[in-house]
């Protein structure tokens, strides 16, 4: 069963589905997987080096896998800063957080530049507590992000948080 949006797009498509690869293919770059990462990589490579011969291989159709079955949210890696720092070191963790923030804006810019109506909205993300034990759980990562000059989080007054979350359960 295909996601509703994908089935709707397929039903209204003017083009035929891309035929499967037959035999061998030679290319400069082969990308395996037609999800968000594979498609975005192909687009960015082609934009950077238009002469590249790129082949994208997908088992089904692009967007049919996990990328097509999500809620459409794009999150930065800010909340994962400590994990990034542990795995890659401070400089690379800072770079990855910055790039993850930038990439969210790039998605919107790409859609605007290409006339893609995807209901792109830059609304933000709420990280909340729903019990006393969770209150302050993000304080350390926010302090680290602030110290590195990469903090995009901000604290909200309780009433505003509860209004945005749609529930008084959020603390």
List the alpha helices (DSSP H) in the chain.
Answer: 4-12, 36-48, 81-88, 90-113, 139-148, 158-165
For the chain, how far is it from start to end, CA to CA, in angstroms?
39
pLDDT at 170 over 90: yes
Domain spans of the chain, in order of start: 1-72, 73-171
Average pLDDT, the chain: 92
At residue 31's C-alpha, the angle toward residues 73 and 51, to 5°, is 110
pLDDT of res. 3: 79
pLDDT (tens digit per residue) in 103-162: 999 999 999 999 998 889 988 899 999 999 999 999 999 999 999 999 999 999 999 999
pLDDT at 69 over 90: no
CA dihedral 110, 114, 116, 122 (to 10 degrees): 30
pLDDT at 1 over 80: no
pTM of model > 0.85:
no
Q: What share of the chain is helix, strand, coil (3-state, %, to 5)?
A: 50, 5, 45
Phi–psi pair at 146, nearest 5 degrees:
-60, -45
Angle of helix 90-113 versus helix 139-148 axis, rounded to 10: 90
């Amino acid at each position: 069963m295909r996601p509703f949006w994908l089935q709707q797009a397929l039903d209204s498509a003017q083009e035929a589905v891309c035929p499967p690869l037959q035999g061998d293919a030679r290319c400069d770059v082969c990308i395996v997987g037609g999800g968000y990462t594979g498609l975005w990589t192909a687009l960015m490579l082609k934009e950077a080096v238009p002469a590249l011969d790129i082949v994208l291989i997908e088992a089904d159709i692009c967007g049919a896998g996990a990328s097509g079955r999500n809620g459409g949210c794009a999150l930065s890696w800010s909340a994962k800063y400590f994990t990034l720092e542990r795995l890659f070191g401070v400089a690379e963790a800072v770079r990855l957080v910055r790039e993850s923030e930038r990439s969210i804006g790039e998605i919107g810019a790409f859609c605007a530049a290409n006339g893609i109506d995807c209901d792109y909205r830059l609304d933000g993300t709420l990280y909340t507590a729903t019990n006393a034990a969770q209150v302050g759980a993000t304080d350390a990562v926010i302090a680290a992000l602030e110290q590195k000059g990469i903090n995009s989080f901000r604290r909200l007054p309780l009433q505003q948080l509860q209004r945005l979350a749609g529930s008084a359960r959020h603390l």
